[in-house]
Amino acid sequence: MSEEPTHEPGISDELRNLGKSLSDFLRTAWASEERKRVQQDIEFSLSELGSTINKTANDFSASETGQRMKSDIHDFRQRVETGEMQDKARHEFLDVLKKVNQELTKAANKWESASTSSAQAPTGEDTGKPAEGENK
């Protein structure tokens, strides 16, 4: 009279089955001819892209514009190495510092003359009346 419990599929069984199904699917997809063909297409396309970029770079280097750019870069490099750029930068920096100092001096003079003017402005003393809080 003892009945054996029947085994009903539960969540854990279904999750185990899902994991197995996903694993089988991914294994099959990875081994498929379609995936291999797509991989070959991508590899070929990347190789073609690299070749096209190299050809374009070589064409540009050989062009008049490319030669001019190469010459400009060479000239710039020489100016940096000989210190010409350094001298120019130092001179421009010195000019900027002089200008900043001149402007600061002007601003300081304006503040000074404004505070001198306000100190000389008429106060209660000119009226002959004592200022507030002051006894005569």
**Band (86; pLDDT cuts 50, 70, 90):** confident
Q: Which residue has the higher pLDDT, 86 or 123?
A: 86
**What are 20-56's pLDDT values in tens digits?**
999 999 999 999 999 999 999 999 999 999 999 999 9
3-state SS class at 57: helix
Buried b (16+ CB within 10 A) or exposed e, 79-92: eeeeeeeeeeeeee
pLDDT at 71: 94
CA-based angle 89:95:97, to the nearest 5? 100
